[in-house]
Amino acid sequence: MRDVRTLLAVGGILALVALGAVAATLSGGGGGDDSANGSLPVEGVDQLTGSWLAVNDVSAPAPVLGTVRLEFLPDGDVAAQTGCNGVRGRASVEGSVLVTGPLMSTRMACEPPLMEQERWVTQMLESRPRLELSGPYLYLHWGQGERWWLGLEREPAGTNGTVPAS
């Protein structure tokens, strides 16, 4: 009888420990990174080299019209296709934050919605957005309280996604 009670007590303790581990994992205390979706911070601009196409604009200032593409070049520049003009400048990453130097832009006139899109894409790049990587996706978070975010997908190498030089 004593062995049965000991066995039940040990089994109960093990069940409580397992239940606590499950609860900690579900509440975000599982010991992983601190993001809810498993995204990782960006440590350097070299992690971003290549072309990225906007695929999720749910929380952007406006729906993406046409193509918005960022290309991080091996020479340390970032080039952006805004849907209207091309934008280009120096880029670095500091503490998972994108830091751009002065951005140069072509000066074509476009329809007002595309000009507005160019404005917010350029503002995003200049605002020191926080960066996250999750598999083939890059997320840029900016604005007061990170009000806005844009999701981009890495384009396969060799695709014709090159952003025109500005």
pLDDT tens for 87-106 read 999 999 999 999 999 999 99
pLDDT at 129: 97
- Averaged confidence pLDDT in the chain: 81
- Distance CA(79)–CA(164), nearest Å, equals 8
> What is the b/e burial string over 77-101, where b = at least 16 CB atoms within 10 angstroms of the residue's CB?
bbbbbbbbbbbbbebebeebbbebe
Mean pLDDT in residue range 53-62? 92
Name the CA radius of gyration of the chain, rounded.
Answer: 23
What is this structure's pTM? 0.72
Residue 3 confidence (pLDDT): 64
pLDDT at 154 over 60: yes
Task: Name the band, by pLDDT with cuts 50, 70 and 90, for residue 163.
Answer: low
CATH number of 40-154: 2.40.128.270
SS3 assignment for the chain = CHHHHHHHHHHHHHHHHHHHHHHHHHCCCCCCCCCCCCCEECCCHHHHEEEEEEEECCCCCCCCCCCCEEEECCCCEEEEECCCCEEEEEEEEECCEEEECCCEECCCCCCHHHHHHHHHHHHHHHCCCEEEEECCEEEEEECHHHCEEEEEEECCCCCCCCCCCC
Single out the residue of 134, 56, 144, 128 nearest to residue 96, CA to CA. 128
User: For residue 31, what pLDDT is reported?
Assistant: 38
Structure tokens at 160: 């014709």
131 forms bridges with which residues in the sheet? 140
Query: Which residue has better confidence, 24 or 95?
Result: 95
pLDDT in tens, 125-135: 999 999 999 99
Give the number of other Cβ atoms within 10 Å of residue 51's Cβ. 22
Return the higher-pLDDT residue of 8 and 53.
53
Average pLDDT over residues 140-146: 94
At residue 166, the pLDDT reads: 44
